[in-house]
Amino acid sequence: MSQQIITPELVLLDGDAGADADSVIAALAGLVANAGRCTDPAELAEAAMARERKSATGIPGGIAIPHARVASVTTATLAMARLTRKAEFGAPDGPADIVFLIAAPEGAAGEHM
């Protein structure tokens, strides 16, 4: 049986994870690592930010969906934050206060979707 993609320990509610995408992604990568689903949160955060630099992941409605596939992720995971301080993710209507980080193992198929 596979693990659930999201669990309560992967959710940050009404937290301040910083005012920019780098800080928020790093905080979410830390949740993934603390849950035992990633051995190198810095690698996950950097890969997600590299993807963010290619194409912003902010969508209308104050939502952002950064994502990455890296070797240090051991289990397909979704981490989520509802932020007290919005962060810029390049959405046309402004900063995001709901952020979902999709973390997938390198070489994974579509199980994270």
**Domain edges within the chain:** 8-105
User: Which amino acid does the sequence have at 90?
Assistant: G
Chunked in runs of 10, what are the mean pLDDT values of the chain (113 residues)?
86 93 98 98 98 96 97 97 96 96 83 44
Q: Which of 112, 57, 107 is closest to 87 using CA atoms?
A: 57
Chosen CATH of 8-105 out of 3.40.50.620, 3.40.50.970, 3.40.640.10, 3.40.930.10: 3.40.930.10
Per residue in 84-94, pLDDT (tens digit) is: 999 999 999 99
This prediction's pTM: 0.92
DSSP readout, 3-33? PPS--GGGEEEEE---SBHHHHHHHHHHHHH
- Residue 100: φ, ψ to 5°: -115, 125
Per residue in 1-10, pLDDT (tens digit) is: 468 999 999 9
